[in-house]
Amino acid sequence: MARINASSTLSRFRVLDLSRVRAGPTCVRILADFGADVIRIEPPAGIDPNEAMFAADRTGGDFQNLNRNKRSMTLNLKKPEGLAVFKQLVASADVVVENWRPDVKSRLGVDYEALRAINPRIILASISGFGQDGPYADRPGFDQIIQGMGGLMSVTGFPGGGPLRAGLAVADCGTGIYAAVGVLLALIEREQSGVGQWVHSSLLHTQIALMDFQAARYLNDGDTPVQAGNDHPTSSPMGLFEGSDGAFNLGASGEGNWRRLCACLEMPQWLEDPRYATEKLRVANRASLNECLAQRFREHPVAHWVGLLNQAGVPAGPVYSIPQVFEDEQVRHLGVAQPVEDEAGHAYRLISQPVALTRTPARIARPAPGWGEHTREMLGEIGYAAADIERLYGEGVV
């Protein structure tokens, strides 16, 4: 098959994807969904002792969701001829994405300086746990390690409950998104300068950046964030409440929302209560205010309150299980779960890109590729004859 035309947005660019696990593939998925010609380069089976982590279950939902819209070729970069093939690919590529430990690139001879010597326009995106240099550069970095070191686990959970990880790969996914932004910025800058550059992103820096207002509170106000459970650390009333049949979230921060909430709940006396006169006082007296709200909310079911509050302009929403998420009418309207089918008839539902372009939208055009499915095709594209391709297979290069 020829290249996958998911979108025209990035269709003029070719990306060589050396990345594994989650952060790198998250970055490259964005580029692929917007039409870049992404070549996932994987070692032949049996070369990498960790291959079960990133390549074995090709039909699993996680692998499919991360690696759709890509082509796949196998290539053993530890063999001289495998490295030579890769360098031929670099000569006509726009972007290389990798998430090895920083020293691996140099040992293999595919660091930025080496790639730039082949193609001055190349953009290398390097994703790491801790950065490309510094005292922790050679440490392995997994998402939960970084959640702990980046402060997220210290503010997640209930007071006194001890550190708690978030229920998704915050650092991995966030780093992949930042890396994609970096690649796009480098591509835009290249239109002016004519040359590529090296884009770095790390899980540690990303996780700290994602701490956002929590980190800024400490750096600028000396206020050390702590666990606040389901309450917002600096706004009230804002958190989880119980209706007569379950839980829902309320976001009534700010004076306008506070007044609308009191009117909606027919509790004008709260506006006259000096304990709740300002946001700061409502935070200081959160326990008593939450108890007042809890008594009122127990009178009706969640659907009643969510409907009434939103009608009044006060943010509120139910707490869904994952199946309930995909049953929601707005989620269906947004087309979040997109169906796609492979050539063998296997059907998948994958998560669409959450950013919409009106003229050149992203699209899930094809499921994730089979292991090395496009190796012969790619070798043919860079000039290898059929006999040479068979020889490369025989020598374990591909």
Task: For residue 340, give the H/E element and its range.
Answer: strand 337-341
Task: Indicate if the alpha-carbon torsion angle 292, 296, 302, 303 is positive or negative.
Answer: negative
Q: 3-state DSSP call for residue 17?
A: strand
**Closest-CA residue to 180 (of 123, 258, 104):** 123
Q: Across the strands, what pairs with 96?
A: 16, 124
Q: How many helices (H) and strands (E) does the chain have?
A: 20, 11
Residues 6+ apart with CB under 8 A from 146: 129, 171, 203, 204, 207
Distance between CA atoms of residues 90 and 111, nearest Å: 12
Catalytic residue among 172, 223, 231, 273: 172
The length of the chain, given as a count of residues:
398
Distance between CA atoms of residues 259 and 270, nearest Å: 9
First CA to last CA across the chain, in angstroms? 19
Residues 6+ apart with CB under 8 A from 360: 7, 8, 9, 34, 35
- Beta strands per DSSP E along 2-139: 14-17, 37-42, 70-74, 95-98, 123-128
Distance between CA atoms of residues 85 and 59, nearest Å: 28
Question: Could you tell me if 196 and 123 are in contact, meaning their C-beta atoms sit under 8 angstroms apart?
Answer: yes
Q: Provide the token pair at 323.
A: 């199946």
Q: Provide the token pair at 120.
A: 């001055």
User: Any catalytic annotation for residue 111?
Assistant: no
**Closest-CA residue to 89 (of 115, 127, 67, 50):** 115
Question: Could you tell me if 41 and 17 are in contact, meaning their C-beta atoms sit under 8 angstroms apart?
Answer: yes
Task: Indicate if the alpha-carbon torsion angle 12, 16, 21, 27 is positive or negative.
Answer: negative
Burial of 30 (0-12, 13-18, 19+ CB in 10 A): buried
* Catalytically active residues, by annotation: 172
